[in-house]
């Protein structure tokens, strides 16, 4: 662990603590010597960070102090790069656009001298079929807890009209699936979004109910139809 990363981790420990933290506790968490922690604390105090305390008693970070945005370890930075790149597999233009914007913002605010991530390449291959309904619109309906009216064509080409409460999008390699409470079946159902030729809000909402429905859906873990 580099010294800059260690200093950052010490700040994080102090920020998250509800009381004084001893140098020994910090040293054990970071797997360094107590002497190293004392030196690091002194260095942070010299940088005018509001750390108060003393050896043998413990240290606290004055409330209200915040860190500069987006300080990542090298592994964290590389995990973000891979995660954002993999969004290219989803076939969701909104998420891909957001990933590009997020990458640009992260690049702009990283501290000077931060090493670039290792050469990491992610295949954009997918077999996502084209869908008439936009995944971005479905994500917005999920956030708004908006009830939807959909037309759905199942694998036997049977067409049904449904009123649903959308709960989650599941991104598989070959399809995007909408998990929802189905009013027609009075149960949870899963709908491939490429098989939804028509979709729109009913004007009704289920605000305040989605968390309980989602928790129940996760417990039951129903497979897609």
**Three-state SS annotation for 125-140:** CCCCCCCCCCHHHHHH
The CB density around residue 154, as the number of other CB atoms within 10 Å, is: 12
Per residue in 126-171, pLDDT tens? 767 888 899 999 999 999 999 999 999 998 999 999 999 999 999 8
**Contact of 145 with 206, CB cutoff 8 Å:** yes
Q: In this structure, is residue 225 part of a structural domain?
A: no
Distance (Å, rounded) from C-alpha 52 to C-alpha 41? 10
Distance (Å, rounded) from C-alpha 11 to C-alpha 149? 50
On whether both 51 and 72 belong to a single domain, the answer is no
Per residue in 172-214, pLDDT tens? 888 899 999 999 999 999 999 999 999 999 999 999 999 999 9
Q: In this structure, is residue 45 part of a structural domain?
A: yes
Number of domains composing the chain: 3
Q: In this structure, is residue 155 part of a structural domain?
A: yes
On whether both 168 and 95 belong to a single domain, the answer is no
Q: In this structure, is residue 130 part of a structural domain?
A: no
- Picking from 218, 196, 220, the residue whose alpha carbon sits closest to that of residue 141 is 196
Distance (Å, rounded) from C-alpha 202 to C-alpha 144? 13
Q: In this structure, is residue 50 part of a structural domain?
A: yes
On whether both 76 and 54 belong to a single domain, the answer is no
The CB density around residue 109, as the number of other CB atoms within 10 Å, is: 10
Domain enclosing residue 75, as ranges: 68-125
The CB density around residue 167, as the number of other CB atoms within 10 Å, is: 21
Per residue in 36-94, pLDDT tens? 999 999 998 888 888 998 777 899 988 766 655 556 777 888 888 888 888 888 888 88
Q: In this structure, is residue 54 part of a structural domain?
A: yes
Question: How many Å separate Cα 90 from the centre of its chain?
Answer: 15
Provide the whole-model pTM: 0.63
On whether both 74 and 27 belong to a single domain, the answer is no
On whether both 107 and 159 belong to a single domain, the answer is no
- Picking from 203, 131, 209, the residue whose alpha carbon sits closest to that of residue 174 is 131
CATH of the domain at 9: 1.10.10.10
**Contact of 148 with 192, CB cutoff 8 Å:** no
Distance (Å, rounded) from C-alpha 101 to C-alpha 92? 14
CATH of the domain at 192: 2.30.30
């Amino acid at each position: 662990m580099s010294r800059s990363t260690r200093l950052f981790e010490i700040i994080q420990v102090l920020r998250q603590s509800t009381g004084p933290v001893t140098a020994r506790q910090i040293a054990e968490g970071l797997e360094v010597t107590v002497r190293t922690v004392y030196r690091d604390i002194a260095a942070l105090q010299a940088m005018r960070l509001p750390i108060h305390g003393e050896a043998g008693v413990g240290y606290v970070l004055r409330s209200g102090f915040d860190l500069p945005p987006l300080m990542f370890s090298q592994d964290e930075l590389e995990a973000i790069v891979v995660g954002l790149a993999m969004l290219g597999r989803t076939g969701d233009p909104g998420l891909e656009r957001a990933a590009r914007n997020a990458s640009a913002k992260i690049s702009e605010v990283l501290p000077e001298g931060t090493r670039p991530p290792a050469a990491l390449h992610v295949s954009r291959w997918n077999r996502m079929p084209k869908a008439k309904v936009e995944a971005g619109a479905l994500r917005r309906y999920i956030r708004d807890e908006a009830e939807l009216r959909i037309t759905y064509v199942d694998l036997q080409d049977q067409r049904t009209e449904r009123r649903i409460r959308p709960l989650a999008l599941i991104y598989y390699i070959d399809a995007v699936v909408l998990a929802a409470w189905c009013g027609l079946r009075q149960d949870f159902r899963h709908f491939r979004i490429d098989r939804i030729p028509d979709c729109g809000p009913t004007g009704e909402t289920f605000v305040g109910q989605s968390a309980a429905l989602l928790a129940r859906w996760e417990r039951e873990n129903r497979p897609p139809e």
